[in-house]
Structure 1
Amino acid sequence: MSVTGITADGRGSSVSDTRYRELLSAVTSWVEGPGEEWAGRIEATGQVPDSLWKELREAGFLSLAAPVGLGGQGLSFVQWMGLMEVFSRSHASVRMIVHVVNGTWRAMNPHADEQQREKFVRPSVAGELIVAFTLTEPGNGTGADITSSVRRDGDTYYLTGRKHLITFGVRCDYWLLFARIEGSSGSDGTVALLVDRHAPGVVVENTSETLGVHGTDHASLTFTDTPVPVSHRLGAEGDGLAVALGGFLTPSRISVAMSCVGLAGRAQQLAVAYALERTTFGKPLASRQAIAFSLAENEADIAAARALTLQAAEDWQKGSGAAPALSSMAKLTAVDMLTRVTDKALQVHGGIGYWKSMPIERVYRDARAQRFEEGTNEIQKTVIARDLFRRASAGAAEAAAAADVPDPAAAPESLG
């Protein structure tokens, strides 16, 4: 499917180097100026006010990654990752807003018809409609084992089930929700539905009290025969997991990896500045070899994670089949890097770094959330291992075919 001559996921889109540098400068100035002021306000109140959403929307920061045909600014995915790195140096809730709004359209657009684009996709790209990605369930994983179900009666589905850990699930306008046709199993019976936030039969529990990422709302949701128009279904019955995972998960994992790079960069910036200004026994901390080596390790760690993440972004942008596994490699590598870097950055600050008056304290808390976003490390390892063994088996089969010998993978297990 294509829109305005480019792919529905925007991979054929890009802006000029001049325009990109202008956007990079604008984002950097905002993050280092108003963004820092917002960070203080969010931490003090625990809230992200509507005025911040409005400011981000009016600055054009919520429509950077989408193609021009959808009302976006047409950045390529690699270009968007450059801005994502900068946004991630800001407060985690700021990063979460721009990450989600600049990404949710990727799940919707490839499966939307033109009426759905007008009603849901374009308003979402414009930041006028908040769509919350709603997949995870309290008693299940995030794949074909979902149990939230719908039964169809004429032009209406009736939804029953539970979801939790839903980012923006309280303040959203619609939940982009994944369920299955009643009585089905596996991925074939799954559906993707846009469920009105104010539909009847829904109980919304605000579960926003978290260790970090203060201000971002999260929800637990319970649905009991909640009506959803069939016209709000994206794609066909059976396409639910394709909508959830196909065009969204891979680029989102890469984006989370780059957000780890950006946040690690902020931790390193704070640690370097503190090492230069803090004096012990008449010398700055930076002159201590143990501190200098620790920060040198951080710098190399960040650069390596950035390089892998950009490789994954380039592969996804050009449609490479290696992109899904690379996205998991990038996310796995980047979150582990972020853990090491923020731990060392806090250690450089000594005991004072543990106090809320120090910016590194918030960075340290916010970093832990990245280990869960878009799948745990264990999920990433599963994806990588599956791809590794698939490629190895394919290589063995090709070698066997070239040698005109039986494929060992196809041989019976019993030898006798």
Structure 2
Amino acid sequence: MVDNNTLNLGEFLDEVRAWVAGPGEEWAERIEDTGTVPDELVTELRERGWLSLAAPQELGGAGMSFSDYLQVLEAISKSHASIRMLVHVNNGTWRAMAPYASPELRDEVLIPAVKADKRVAFTLTEHDRGSGADIGTTVRREGDEYVMNGEKHLITFGVKADYLLITARLEGTSGKDGLVSFTMPNHLPGAEVIDDSETMGVRGTDHATLRFEETRFPARYRLGAEGQGLEIALGGFLTPSRVGVAMSCVGLAERAQELAIEYANERVTFGKPLAKRQAIQFMLSENYARLAAAKALVMQAARAYEVGAPDAGELSSAAKLTAVDMLTFVTDNALQVHGGRGYWKKNPIERVYRDARAQRFEEGTNEIQKQVISRGVLSGTVSTEGGQW
């Protein structure tokens, strides 16, 4: 386990990087071959403490600062996307639960989730609605129970999760004041869990469509008060998670750049290495510049979140928007450097290229990020100077 009181961050990062380059690649090959994440891998990550880095020590975590944790996530993101997903989600869901969980929920769900003894799936997205105040899944209160109806889709870990961190609407309400969040058990009577895990990339991570028909569960699973649902879902999880996804883009882009540099130095055409050709040099230099710029913005957004800056939400969206576009550019260049060879699955860049597409949809598309940013810009709540250093 990781103890932040005695941790040397540099040494720990070296340990993570060595694992990613060695055992991590062996796990990646196994995941790609089987299409599943082995339970032994989850156990290994749990025992190493990597699924409990960001939460405070009083909850069973390592107490690592958000900025330090992001450096670890950057290193892990060079590995298989499903490994990154395990680390990212398990180190994030506690943020939404901790300020609002009752003592009973703290013991049953929150602390076991921090320790990675239980898995919690963030459950917001719906098939025919956006990811905000227009949520259509409903609940109604009946005595000591709530009754849920509706559907959620694209739910990461929705098949195997023990609990759902879910937001729904009180029947008969509209707008954000009618939203309420829960950490309800998964696989309840009246709830249908549909495995929808066949994806372009991120092989091995399960995804689900969840359908609820008069699904009953105890009211004690509610987080906070009725009307706080959007606050819990967006501020508690999405803002820091968007920064985390942005940093995962940086890590994966760095891996693509490494592969491109290695190939450019090895591949010889017409008597000289690709690395000696100006067109390739320009691709790699553009990659470097965009990577450096994106990483700087990600760390700025991280600091804004850590100090509770008023523009932390807009900066998190700006970081994700910028990092996603950077990742697309870098991985496209990296694949182009490889030429036709990069199109074959035996080459690592092929997997990196497929996995890179997923971040365009995680925690909201680029279009959603632009909406978040524009609201702050047009209302005047965000400085035209682009945040504080």
**What is the TM-score when the length of structure 1 is the normalising length?**
0.90
The one-letter amino acid of 2:100's match is H
Question: Within the alignment, does 1:271 sit opposite 2:260 as a pair?
Answer: yes
2:133 to 119, 127, 144: 144
Partner of 2:66: 77
Question: Within the alignment, does 1:102 sit opposite 2:96 as a pair?
Answer: no
2:179 to 181, 190, 197: 190
2:297 to 308, 313, 318: 308
CA contact (8 A) 1:64 1:74 kept: yes
Q: CA deviation at 1:383?
A: 1.2
Partner of 1:401: none
Post-superposition CA distance 1:276-296 (Å, at most 9, x none):
011111111101111011101
CA contact (8 A) 1:254 1:327 kept: yes
Cα distance in 1 for partners of 2:53, 2:383 equals 39
Question: Within the alignment, does 1:247 sit opposite 2:233 as a pair?
Answer: no
The one-letter amino acid of 1:168's match is F
Extract structure 1 runs of 4+ deviating beyond 2 A. 14-19, 392-395
Post-superposition CA distance 1:25-52 (Å, at most 9, x none):
2211211111100100011111112111
Cα distance in 2 for partners of 1:364, 1:57 equals 28
Partner of 2:14: 25
Cα distance in 1 for partners of 2:193, 2:115 equals 26
Question: Within the alignment, does 1:376 sit opposite 2:361 as a pair?
Answer: no
Of 63-72 and 16-25, more deviation after overlay is shown by: 16-25
* Residues 251 and 394 of structure 1, relative CA distance in 2, 3 Å threshold: closer
SS of 1:119's equivalent? helix
SS of 1:275's equivalent? helix
Percent identity over paired residues: 61
Cα distance in 2 for partners of 1:63, 1:174 equals 17
Cα distance in 2 for partners of 1:108, 1:392 equals 27
Partner of 1:389: 378
Of 22-31 and 40-49, more deviation after overlay is shown by: 22-31
* Residues 20 and 180 of structure 1, relative CA distance in 2, 3 Å threshold: same
Cα distance in 2 for partners of 1:42, 1:280 equals 34
Cα distance in 2 for partners of 1:75, 1:394 equals 30
Partner of 1:172: 161
Partner of 2:203: 214
SS of 1:248's equivalent? helix
Partner of 1:323: 312
- Computed over aligned residues only, the root mean square deviation of the Cα atoms, in angstroms, reads 1.5
CA contact (8 A) 1:161 1:223 kept: yes
The one-letter amino acid of 1:36's match is E
Post-superposition CA distance 1:323-367 (Å, at most 9, x none):
111111110100000000000000000000000010000000000
Runs of at least 5 residues in structure 2 that lack an aligned partner in the other structure: 385-389
SS of 2:151's equivalent? strand
Post-superposition CA distance 1:200-230 (Å, at most 9, x none):
0011111011111111100001111111110
CA contact (8 A) 2:156 2:208 kept: yes
Question: Within the alignment, does 1:367 sit opposite 2:352 as a pair?
Answer: no
Partner of 2:148: 159
Post-superposition CA distance 1:45-74 (Å, at most 9, x none):
111121111111011000001111111111
CA contact (8 A) 2:243 2:319 kept: yes
Partner of 1:414: none
Post-superposition CA distance 1:296-331 (Å, at most 9, x none):
111111111000100110111111112111111110
Post-superposition CA distance 1:49-102 (Å, at most 9, x none):
211111110110000011111111111000011001001000000001100000
Of 259-268 and 239-248, more deviation after overlay is shown by: 239-248
Cα distance in 2 for partners of 1:170, 1:394 equals 42
Partner of 1:202: 191
Partner of 2:47: 58
Partner of 2:251: 262
Cα distance in 1 for partners of 2:29, 2:365 equals 29
Runs of at least 5 residues in structure 1 that lack an aligned partner in the other structure: 1-13, 396-416
Cα distance in 1 for partners of 2:381, 2:296 equals 25
SS of 1:151's equivalent? strand
The one-letter amino acid of 1:368's match is R
Partner of 2:387: none
Partner of 2:322: 333
Of 167-176 and 196-205, more deviation after overlay is shown by: 196-205
Q: CA deviation at 1:22?
A: 3.0
The one-letter amino acid of 1:290's match is A
Size of the aligned set, in residue pairs, is: 382
CA contact (8 A) 1:193 1:228 kept: no
Q: CA deviation at 1:393?
A: 9.7
* Residues 156 and 18 of structure 1, relative CA distance in 2, 3 Å threshold: closer
The one-letter amino acid of 2:56's match is P
The one-letter amino acid of 1:167's match is T
Q: CA deviation at 1:143?
A: 1.0
